[in-house]
Amino acid sequence: MAVGTVTTTRQAAVAWRPEKRVTAAFLITGLVALLVGALLGPLQALNYGDIDLYSRLPFLKSYYQGLTLHGVLNALVFTTFFNCGVLIYLPARELGLRPSVGWLWASYLIMVGGLAIAGIAILDNSSTVLYTFYPPLQGTLGFYLGLALVVVGSLMVAAEVVRLRARWRRANPGKATPIVTFMSTATMLMWALASLGIVTEVVVFLIPWSAGWIGGVDPQLARTLFWFTGHPIVYFWLLPAYISWYAFIPRQVGGELVSDTLARLAFLMFMVFSTPVGFHHQFTDPGIPGGWKLVHTVLTMFVAIPSLITAFTVTASMELGARRRGGRGVLGWIRKLPWGDGGFTAQALAMISFIFGGAGGIVLASFNLNVLVHNTAFIPGHFHITVGTATTLTFFGMTFWLIPHLTGRKLFAPRLALASAWTWFVGMMVFAVGMHWEGLLGVPRRAWISNMLPSLQGTYADAAVPMAITAVSGMILFVAVIFYFTVLFGTLFSPVRIEEDSVEIPFPQTVPAHADPYVRALDRLGLWFGLALVVVAVAYLPTLVHMISTMVPVPGLRLW
Ligand code: HAS
Ligand code: CU1
């Protein structure tokens, strides 16, 4: 396992125990949510293989209820909890500054309370509104309130990250923020800005509507506010993975981050360009002028640039490490990467999946290609190799060192950990092939096709091959889930104790030159945040103002 440069004495390790406990609580809660959500995944895949198990389940009423649970737990809950854990703990350790543990526990409890309230609303089938909860589909108050509490808790953690960096800066005037802290703060600031849409949608409209205080909601406005957050949230899922790729992977492969400056620039570009692009989810929505859709398309291409930067910087950093380990040849160096280490391999496979996920995203961002596949199985195909693999598999890789680090327990069955990474990767890639292919044949997303009316059966007969592929992928992923969670719980309950902090955080060795004028300019996060606000205001305000002034509120519908 890679080692870091942070000096860790036994005393220091013990002193950090309160922070470790709260971090572990965030991570484990997120991972348990993932486990429940992921166990429903194979049922979703079988539905696309025209095999209906949902009708036979005693505890779920429909495919749609299962899909709501799957989407909310995997996309919203797992990611938010996991991110809150790592985005506060890693900077705190990098800076050597203790965050307020009481504040973090309060944030955690608010989020868990929210999760419980929303969970009940989904499980009792009162809120089968899918993870995008578009009005006029109407869930119960508990669903919206619960999700709001999860967001509130995450913003409280964001505030603590910002506060931590401010404390460090006061004590270290003129110095550039260490890179993990820089990236974590930029990510949280991006999330704070991004969350304005969903907070407005839920607090101003959906909570009063579901409580019966207002009679209707304008679906168009609600969707627009949703996607204001719904696009940048995908970077909230991705950026903690990028932190690992930039800051930790180079050390784990024996290399170095080749450009600290480019890495920082990438994060700033995410802060500025992540939010003003939501219309690329609404190309087919009426009520948004074509010109503004075009602006969001152009800005979407801008937000792909930091990912392209990442692809080259991270590959170069890994190549450096592989060549130091004796790698030769144009591509021969790849063999010298530590493929026997599950922690590395999970993340390398995550990167490979993202080459395809990212390319698919760029296809989707083009208006004329988007209309061919919008609302088809192509879209879940895309997001299972972005959030489902690039993010999730990277998080798996991180847990293989982070959970032992936090809990002082030895990683259980490292070879099984490695196997879980490969099985997840293969399962998701096979799933993606099936779903993208089905999408091209017009198979819709979010459809209970395995339970269609007899008169409609056979509608998707020409998609039989990709549908079979999707069904098979569900089985592979089921095995991957068993493998990964055996490793996780095996570690958590392992009787084999190791010295705390003996698995160190693989912080990068390089520190930026403090006098470097570029790094100092990049370090002015407040200024960049201001710029982000301006860009978002320009991209959104004209359309939002018009929508608000022409609102057509409609009452709620319950179609399940
Ligand atoms: Fe997306 C829909 C466009 C990235 C997630 N996306 C979705 C939905 C989700 C999602 C969940 O424009 C569905 C929402 C719903 O339910 O309706 N997406 C993009 C674009 C990007 C993109 C342009 N998406 C993501 C990421 C996600 C995510 C990241 C989650 C984490 N997406 C769209 C559009 C839609 C959409 C449309 C709407 C579709 C519709 O009609 O509804 C870009 O950010 C992608 C840029 C990425 C790259 C790839 C860079 C590659 C890297 C890997 C490096 C590899 C290495 C290999 C180093 C250009 C960084 C090393 C080699 C070794 C040997 C190890
Ligand atoms: Cu998007």
Q: Does residue 510 carry a pLDDT above 80? A: no
Predicted pLDDT at 4? 39
339 alpha carbon, distance to own chain's centre? 25
Q: How does pLDDT run across 255-265, given as a tens digit for each residue?
A: 889 989 999 99
Q: What is the residue-wise DSSP string for 204-260?
A: IIIHHHHTTSSS-B-HHHHHHHHHHHHTHHHHHHHHHHHHIIIIIHHHHTT---S-H
Q: How does pLDDT run across 430-466, given as a tens digit for each residue?
A: 999 999 999 999 999 999 999 988 888 889 999 999 9
- Ligand 1, CB cutoff 6 Å, lining residues: 132, 234, 237-238, 280-281, 300, 303-304, 307-308, 310-311, 314-315, 334, 348, 351-352, 354-355, 358, 361-362, 364-365, 370, 374, 379, 382-383, 386-387, 391
> How is residue 117 written in tokens?
């309230």
- pLDDT bin (cut points 50, 70, 90) of residue 6 is very low
Name the residue with tokens 């802290």.
Answer: 181
CA-nearest of 331, 326, 389, 328 to 360 is 389
What class, spelled out in words, does domain 16-549 have in CATH? mainly alpha
Which of 386, 393, 428 for mutating ligand 1's site (highest number of atoms within 8 Å of CB)?
386
Q: Does residue 2 carry a pLDDT above 80? A: no
> How is residue 441 written in tokens?
């044949």
Q: Are 8 and 504 in contact (CB under 8 A)?
A: yes
Name the residue with tokens 């890639």.
Answer: 429
Ligand nearest to the CA of residue 308, numbered in listed order: 1
- pLDDT bin (cut points 50, 70, 90) of residue 499 is confident
Report the distance separating Cα 286 and Cα 296, nearest Å: 15
For the residues 233-259, what does the mean pLDDT come to?
A: 95
Report the distance separating Cα 179 and Cα 181, nearest Å: 5
> How is residue 304 written in tokens?
């792909």
Atom of ligand 1 nearest to the CA of 283: 41
Report the distance separating Cα 440 and Cα 381, nearest Å: 11
What distance in angstroms lies between residue 395's CA and the mean position of ligand 1's atoms?
Answer: 17
Please state, rounded to an integer, the average pLDDT across all residues of the chain.
95
Burial of 479 (0-12, 13-18, 19+ CB in 10 A): middle
Q: What is the residue-wise DSSP string for 145-198?
A: HHHHHHHHHHHHHHHHHHHHHHHHHHHSTTPPPPHHHHHHHHHHHHHHHHHHHH
Q: How does pLDDT run across 466-496, given as a tens digit for each residue?
A: 999 999 999 999 999 999 999 999 999 999 9
Predicted pLDDT at 516? 75
H runs (alpha helix) in 365-504? 367-373, 378-384, 392-407, 414-440, 464-492
> How is residue 165 written in tokens?
């960096």
For the residues 326-330, what does the mean pLDDT come to?
A: 94
* Percent of the residues in the chain that have a pLDDT greater than 90, as a whole number: 90
SS3 for 137?
A: strand
Q: Does residue 334 carry a pLDDT above 80? A: yes
Predicted pLDDT at 12? 75
Report the distance separating Cα 392 and Cα 68, nearest Å: 19
Would you give the end-to-end CA distance of the chain in angstroms?
Answer: 50
The neighbouring-strand residues paired with 497 are: 409
CA-nearest of 63, 59, 43 to 51 is 43
Please tell me what DSSP assigns to residue 54: G
Residue boundaries of the structural domains of the chain: 16-549
- Compute the chain's Rg from CA coordinates: 23
- pLDDT bin (cut points 50, 70, 90) of residue 520 is confident
Report the distance separating Cα 480 and Cα 486, nearest Å: 10
Predicted pLDDT at 155? 98
Which of 280, 331, 428 for mutating ligand 1's site (highest number of atoms within 8 Å of CB)?
280
Q: Does residue 30 carry a pLDDT above 70? A: yes
Atom of ligand 1 nearest to the CA of 297: 12
Ligand nearest to the CA of residue 133, numbered in listed order: 1
Phi-psi region of 521 (alpha: psi -120 to 50; beta: other; left: phi over 0): alpha
Q: How does pLDDT run across 166-210, given as a tens digit for each residue?
A: 999 999 988 889 999 999 999 999 999 999 999 999 999 999 999
* Percent of the residues in the chain that have a pLDDT greater than 70, as a whole number: 97
Q: How does pLDDT run across 57-108, given as a tens digit for each residue?
A: 999 999 999 999 999 999 999 999 999 999 999 999 999 999 999 999 999 9
> How is residue 407 written in tokens?
């809990």
Nearest CA to ligand 1 atom 44: 304
Q: Are 81 and 33 in contact (CB under 8 A)?
A: yes
pTM: 0.96
Report the distance separating Cα 348 and Cα 336, nearest Å: 13
Predicted pLDDT at 213? 97
SS3 for 118?
A: helix
Q: How does pLDDT run across 116-137, given as a tens digit for each residue?
A: 999 999 999 999 999 999 999 9
Which of 133, 234, 339, 378 for mutating ligand 1's site (highest number of atoms within 8 Å of CB)?
234
